[in-house]
Every structure is written in structure tokens, then in C-alpha cells.
Chain A
Amino acid sequence: MKEIVIDPITRLEGHGKIVIKLDENGEVQKALLQIPELRGFEKFLVGRTAEDAPQITPRICGVCPWAHHMASTKALDDLFKVDPPEPAKKIREFIYNVFMLEDHAIHFYVLAGPDFIVGPKAPKEERNIVGIIKKLGVDLVKNIIVTRKKLRNLEQLLGGKITHPVMGLPGGVAKPLSEDDWKICYETSKEALEFAKFTLETFKNVVLSNDEYVDLIKSDAYTHKTYYMGLVDEKNQVNFYDGKIRVVDPDGNEYVKFDAKNYLDHMAEHVEPWTYVRFTYLKGVGWKGFVDGKDSGIFSVAPLARLNAADGMATPMAQEAYKEFYETLGGKPVHHTLAFHWARVIEMVYAAERMMELIEDPDIKDPNVRKLPEATPDVGIGVVEAPRGTLIHHYETDGKGIIKKANLIVATQNNSARMVLSIEKAAKSLIHGGKVDDGILNMIEMAFRAYDPCHACATHSLPGSMPLIVRIYDKDDNLIKEIRRD
């Protein structure tokens, strides 16, 4: 038996890897994505004063600290039973959309962009930010860097720190939006909207005008019929900051819609001995192993899932893009993993439009941004849509707000089972007779890159290509071939 180990350099202790086992004929017998992430956050939250959780939990991930900060802050609203004043909610939602836009943009341009903008079959030396510069011009790349900096500047203005913000408190935020800060937020929002519109245009011109890409998106190697989950507002439209959790089945029909506080009734986790990640699944459907379909509780989260789980987008340009998305890909729901990229761009437009709506709302400058909690704390559950999917924080405390128990359902976990499916299906479709080459590597890589998994969030950084090593071993563990993709 041969073993192929794909060892992507990841942020998770540098250990995330794909192991593919071949049988005697060189056909794929099993392919697994192994994640060694465990630092014990749930355990060491016990004993902490609950109001510190929004500053402790962002250290789970320095790439998406705002998602943890916001889910945690909302869990505290629930824990201390205090409803923040409207201006505070608007400030929170505004800055959260800033973060979503910034995070999505980096993934799209730096990480995923090369596959689509430069091309999945382009020479590997060009499948990176340098290739993007060649294709779209250096001005665009400068614009991406400048836009990222401006958006992150807003995060610092409102949140104190960009990475590991401090603004969230039960019942509100630490400081109101001053007139000076508002002006900066307003100007940046205008620029952000232009940037998001430009990104959507670029996607259409470069990707959608190319039939080859569209065929690739629709190909079976990248397709799984699963359930989809996402937060929706009262009109069943996508919302990142608040709403109810809605799940649709593989046919696109609503399976369930629930308040985050009832998540234990609907979500469960499965443990496997070969990875540290816990696999979330729909409790009502049950764990049936790594298979897709209506009888399997495996579901998906993040951009594609959010669009599938909703009836539309709450802002006009995003809604238009939403309609085009489903018209082009053959109706709802879309099961093609590579469509995550397009969905992400649509969400960028939504985030920018929503920023504009909120910053133009006169309420947002109101200094009334705190309500002091009065009730005795006991249980608090908070939810947001992280860039990588539905994120839930759940704390239980004593009467003084000292945490006694904590449970975290982290976004990437919700996609973990589907990612295992994607890796195995791509491997089985692409590897035959034991033959592996660089092209196959990139195609397997694309199967999980689409999810923007947090254990690959290393690639949010420049220069952004995901380095891979594939090692093929014979059954006695002798290295017989090594392929590198630098």
C-alpha cells in the first residue's frame, strides 16, 4: 500500500495535513484531512470572570479575532440579560461588517484569486499574488493593500486593537463613535463600496466569462449534496451579526430555523480518533459517517451555505448578484464547493452596502452605547456568522458571573466533515493508478481552499500561495517520490 501525505503549511501548530492511502492498484482507498488543534480554551475559560471572555476568546484565532470577540460579547448580553441600546448594536454591526469585508477580500485576492484570476492551469510560479499583479496590474494590488489598511484602521479606531479588540461589553460597547471617527468611517465606507463593486465586476469579467471555469465549478469532483446553515434576519435574508439560525436540506427546503440559545437541540459533535477537530452535525438527522445526502447530518457553513440557507440578500446590489448566482449555476441550492468563491464576493458587496447603511444612520453617533446589567447571570449563548461560518459561544456562570462551563462551536468545525468529503472525492476523482503530479496537487488543494478553512488561514498572509509537499511512500514507509509546490 502506498501512502501520500500532503502537508500544507498551516497555522494550526504547523500540523494540518492530508493523508491519502492507496491500494495495490494505486486507487484511493482513504483520504483524510487531519487537524491537530487543541489548546483547551473551553477548559481554561472556567474560573474566569465572564466579562473577560470577549478578550480571551479572540486568542483562538488571530485572523478572525473579531468573530470570537463579537460572538462572546453577544453571549454576555444574553448571560447578563441586558439588551444593548440601538446605537451600540449599530456600532457593533458596522465594525463587524468592516471585518467581514477585510477578511473576505484578503482570501479572495491573495489566497483563492490566483486559481481563478490567473488560472487553475497556469504555471505554478504565476499562481500567486505576482500573477495577479501581471493579470490585473500593480495599481489594483496597491489598492487592495491600501483598502485593507484603511479597513483595519477603522477596527483600531473603534476596537482599540485590530487583532484582539477590546470594545465589547455586556449591554454595549466601550466607547461611542465620535464625530471625527465617524467622518473617517464614512469616507472609508464609500471607498469600500467602490472596492467591493469593482471586485464583483472583476469576478464576472475574469471568471464568469470563461466557460472553462464555470464548468470546473459545476464539475462532480467538487460537488456534495449536504445541508446548509446560516444566520438569517426576519425576512430570511443573510445577516452576519444577528438573527436566527436557519438550515436548509439538500433540496433547498427549510429543515429547521432556531434561536442560537436552542443550539443544543439541533447540533451535536462527533469524535474521530485520527484528528483533534470535533465534527459538528445535525442532531435530528444524526451522524451517518462521512457521506452526503439527506440522510446524513453533515452540513456546511460559510459563504455558499449562507446564501443557500437564506432567501436572499438584504441590500440591493448584493441581491442582484445573488439572483445572477443562482441563475447561472442552475437554481437553489448550489452544491458546488468551488462556488464558495463567488458567494464570498457577493458577501463582500453585501458587507460594504451594509457598512454604508449603518454609517449613514444618524443613530450610530448617539453617545448612548451602554446599558449596565442588573440581572443575576446564569447562562449566556451568543452567535455570529464568522467569515468561515456560524460561530457559537456558550457560557454558564455562578451568580457573580464566574464561568463554570464553556462550550464553543467554532465555524471551521461546522465545515470539517464536508471538507473531509471534499478531499476524499477530489482524491478519488483525480488519482488513478498511483499517478500524482503537480496539476493534481492543485486540484486537491482547490477542494479545501474554497472553504477558506481557518487551519489554512496562514495563507491570509503575503505572498499567499499555499505551499504543499506530497510524499509518496511504499508500504514499508520508504520515500519513493516527492513533489514540491513552492
Chain B
Amino acid sequence: MSKPKVALYWCASCGGCEEATVDLTERLFDLIEAVDIVFWPIAMDFKREDLEKMEDGSIDIAIINGGIRLEEHEEMVKLLRRKSKIVIAYGSCAHLGGIPGLANAYPREEILKFAYEEAPTVINPDKVRPMKKVTIDGMEFELPEFLEYLKPLDEVIDVDYYIPGCPPTPDLTWEAISKLLSGEIPPKGHVFGSDKSLCHECPLNETKPDEIRLEELKRPHQVILDRSKCYLAQGVLCMGPVTRGGCEALCIKGGMPCTGCFGPLDGVYNQGAKALSFLASVIDIEDEEKYREMLEKLGFDPIGWFFRYSLAKGMIYRKKRDGE
């Protein structure tokens, strides 16, 4: 029997997902033994035309990380979809847009204007901008163009499974790939990781009160946390209750609260909205005016706190941009 064919590809990503793959360490060699890697631009010189030549559906599993920011990403993932039986969105960016999705809160023009004109170190009196096509001394040079905004993978192609995390842990990666390779196929749309919130695996869960009531919120730099007690109960925002578990609670063990990279629990589309309503339920201030005062005094960033990895998943800012 021939080995299963696996393709790996990255879009607008930082490379952390590749590092997570390499952190499989010895198991990476097992993986290379067990499968036939037919496409992995990071490590192998197969190009787009090689992929195009393959028969449709001939790749068993395509693992794609990064959000969709360039036209080329769109074309490549559509091609991979056609060639593959199973497509996995790997990591927060493919899953939810991830941190680069925060850029969706700003029009593309503002991003470019800052980068090439307004940044304090830039000296650019002629307002030169990188261009899709440019002629220098009669010679033409091309650059790929950026899309208006960043999209998670499943807004461009049909996705079968998700491996969440920024980045996913090596153990979770191994578990998911082993399951799929052994034919243990979960229902379509399955998100690997726990089906319970992070709190269930949090080492501080025992100290979490049944009901949390906070009179004020604190920002992480304003308090020295007792690392043996639930951080949320100490008044610091922790996304644990509204975030899927399976991450080994690494940030918690590192002495910091959860920021939500594993995304929402099953049945929740909008992690940020869920987090906002959860927070509202634990703040013990009835008076709206006082509530507002508390937030004003604190300094408040709903996008960065609640939508840090999932802004691109929501439609709020995109609609604003499109003028719909």
C-alpha cells in the first residue's frame, strides 16, 4: 500500500506554526516515515506547477496555516482544496484570522500610508510606495498585491478540520494527524483540542470560585498575581472560561492569563462577543454609569482583549470598510 500523501502550506503567517511542526522533534521523523510529503514549500522544492499536475483529490491531507492576505494565497488554497481529500486549517491564523487579523480594524490605505510615509523614521518626500508593477531604467519589476483585508481559511475554501492554537502544541498536532492517518475520522468541521473550556484543564481550576463577582478589573501589569489562585478571581481578565482547552494551559503555567488563542468552544461562532457577555456577567457593578467610569479609568481595549485572534472571523469591521 502506498503511503498517505500529505501537503503542507503557509499563507500570511509568522513561521511559528512551522516551528511547532519542527518541535515534534523525534516524531517529525516518524511522520516523514509514515507519509509521503508531496508539497512543503518551506523544505522542499515542489512548485505550484507540480501541484497543478497532480490529480484532483490525490492528496490525502493538506495542512494549511496562516490567514489569507495575498491574491496568491487565495489561488493556492483553492488549488490545494481541489487536489486534497482533507483540508486542515492549522493554527489560529488559518482557523480565525489570528493576530494579523487585527489589521482588519484599519483600512489598507492607512496601513500603507503609515508604513511608507508617516512612520517616524521614514524619509520619503516623494511619497514613493511599493507598487504592483514598476519600471526602473526601462526594466520592469513586479510585486504581489495585498488584499483589502485578511480572511481565515474557511472564508475562502471549504475546511474539513481545525487544529487551533497560536501555535498549536506538538502533542495536539501529533494527536490530530495520527487520528486522521489511522482512519479515525471525526465529523466534518471538528476542531481538535478539548471540547471543554480551558478552565477544566487549568491547574488553578480548584481555586476558581463557583461564582466570580468582581468589583473592578485590573490589567496584568498593575497587579502581582498569586500564581496559586485563579487569575480571573484576582480581577485580571482571563479568557479561559470562553476558550477551548487542549493547550496544556501553558500561559497559565507561565504566570499569565489566557488570551484565547484556541478560539471559541463548539457552538459559539463569535468568541469575542461571548467573552464580552461573560465579562459583563462577572462584573459586580449594577449602575451603568459606574461601570463606564470603571472602564474609563482602567483603559479598555475590547478588540485586543476579546477579539485578539478572531477579529477577522467577525464581520463587524469588514462591513464598515466595504461601506455596506
Q: List the A side residues contacting B45 at CB < 8 Å.
A: 9, 467-469, 484-486
Cβ < 8 Å to B, chain A residues 122-175? 145, 149, 152, 156, 158-167, 169-171, 173-175
Given A14-B41, A56-B304, A469-B45, A40 contacting B111 (CB threshold 8 A): yes
Q: Which residues of B72-106 are within 8 A (CB) of A?
A: 72-73, 98-100, 102-103, 105-106
Contact (Cβ within 8 A) A274 B255: no
Say yes or no for B12: interface residue by CB 8 A criterion: yes
Contact A47 B250 (CB under 8 A): no
Within 8 A of B (CB), among A393-431: 394, 398, 400-402, 405, 407, 409
B1-23: which have CB < 8 Å to A?
A: 10-23
Contact A13 B72 (CB under 8 A): yes
B122 & A14 in contact (Cβ 8 Å cutoff): no
Residue B114 interfacial (CB < 8 Å): yes
Among A58, A167, A400, the most chain B Cβ lie within 10 Å of the Cβ of: A400
* Bound complex: CA A460 to CA B19 (Å): 9
Within 8 A of B (CB), among A353-377: 370, 372-373
Binds B, one of A27-35, A299-307, A324-332: A27-35
Complex CA–CA separation, A40 to B115 (angstroms):
8
Within the complex, what minimum Cβ distance (angstroms) separates B13 from chain A?
Answer: 7
Chain A residue at minimal CB-CB distance from B105 = A44
How far, in whole Å, are A330 and B105 apart by their CA atoms in the complex? 54
Interface check A278, CB cutoff 8 A: yes
Q: Which residue of B lies closest to A46 (CB)?
A: B106
Complex Cα gap A166–B308 (Å): 15
A485 to B47, CA, bound (A): 12
Q: Give the segment of A210-218, A225-233, A247-255, A262-270 that binds chain B.
A: A262-270
Residue contact B141 to A34, C-beta cutoff 8 Å:
yes
Kindly state whether residue B315 has any CB partner on chain A within 8 Å: no
Number of interface residues of A (CB under 8 A): 97
In the complex, what residue of chain B is closest to A11 when comparing beta carbons? Answer: B15
Who on chain A is nearest to B141 by CB? A274
- CB distance B219 to A174 under 8 Å? no
Stretch at the interface among A59-67, A187-195, A343-351: A59-67
Q: Assess whether A480 is interfacial by the CB under 8 Å rule.
A: no
Cα distance, A439 to B305, chains bound together (Å) = 52
Judged by a CB distance under 8 angstroms, whether A93 is at the interface is no
Interface presence of A239 (CB below 8 A) = no
Expressed in whole angstroms, the Cα–Cα distance for A271 and B143 within the complex equals 14
Among listed B127-135, B194-202, B264-272, B277-285, interface-contacting one: B127-135
Q: B44, A467: Cβ atoms under 8 Å?
A: yes
Report the Cα distance A165→B303, complex, angstroms: 21
Known contacts A166-B256, A273-B131, A463-B43; is A47 also within 8 Å of B304 by CB? yes
Please tell me if the beta carbons of B304 and A62 are within 8 angstroms of each other in the complex: no
The one of B69, B73, B100 that contacts A59, using a Cβ cutoff of 8 Å: B100
Q: How far is the CB of A413 from chain B (nearest CB, A)?
A: 10
Chain B residue contacts of A278, Cβ below 8 A: 115-116, 119, 121-122
Pairwise interchain contact B128-A175, C-beta atoms closer than 8 A: no
Query: A48-61: contact bitstring with B at CB < 8 Å (1 yes, 0 no)?
Result: 11011001101111
- In the complex, B289 has a CB within 8 A of chain A: no
A36 within 8 A of B: yes
CA distance A158 to B41 in the complex (A): 32
B69 near A269 with CB under 8 A, answer no
Please, which residues of chain B bring their CB within 8 A of the CB of A170?
221
Check if A55 sits within 8 Å of B259, measured CB to CB: yes
- In A8-48, the 8 Å CB interface with B consists of 9, 11, 13-15, 19, 21, 29-30, 32, 34, 36, 38-40, 42-44, 46-48
* Residue among B72, B114, B120 making CB contact with A14, cutoff 8 Å: B72
Contact between A462 and B18, CB atoms less than 8 A apart: no
B97 to chain A, nearest CB (A): 12
Minimum Cβ distance to chain B for residue A180 (Å)? 13
Q: Kindly identify, within residues 107 to 162 of chain B, every residue whose CB is under 8 Å from any CB belonging to chain A.
A: 110-112, 114-116, 119-124, 128-131, 134, 136-137, 139, 141, 143-144, 146
B11→A13 contact, CB < 8 A: yes
Q: How far is the CB of A128 from chain B (nearest CB, A)?
A: 10
Closest beta carbon of chain A to B279's beta carbon, Å: 15
In the complex, whether A186 has a CB less than 8 A from a CB of chain B is no
Is the Cβ of B119 less than 8 Å from the Cβ of A49? Answer: no
Give Cα A458 to B45, complex, Å.
12
Q: Does A198 reach chain B (CB closer than 8 Å)?
A: no
Contact assessment for B13 and A161 in the assembled complex, using a CB-CB cutoff below 8 Å? no
Q: Is B251 part of the contact surface with A, judged by Cβ < 8 Å?
A: yes
**The residue from A9, A61, A166, A467 contacting B251, defined by CB atoms under 8 A apart:** A166
> B185: CB under 8 A from chain A?
no
Is B286 on the interface with A (CB-CB < 8 A)?
no
- Chain A residues lying within 8 Å of B128, measured Cβ to Cβ, are 271-273
Known: A34-B143, A160-B255, A273-B130. A40 touches B106 (CB 8 A): yes
Q: Mind listing 26 A-B residue pairs with CB under 8 Å?
A: A11-B42, A13-B11, A13-B73, A29-B137, A38-B146, A39-B103, A44-B105, A44-B106, A52-B301, A56-B308, A59-B16, A59-B98, A62-B15, A80-B221, A163-B19, A163-B167, A167-B255, A167-B256, A174-B254, A174-B256, A175-B254, A175-B255, A274-B136, A275-B143, A278-B122, A394-B120
Q: Which residues of A come within 8 Å of B, CB atoms?
A: 1, 9, 11, 13-15, 19, 21, 29-30, 32, 34, 36, 38-40, 42-44, 46-49, 51-52, 55-56, 58-63, 65, 76, 80, 145, 149, 152, 156, 158-167, 169-171, 173-175, 263-264, 267-276, 278, 280, 283, 287, 370, 372-373, 394, 398, 400-402, 405, 407, 409, 457-464, 467-469, 484-486
5 extra interface residue pairs, beta carbon distance < 8 Å, beyond A40-B100, A48-B304, A156-B250: A51-B220, A270-B123, A273-B134, A278-B121, A461-B19
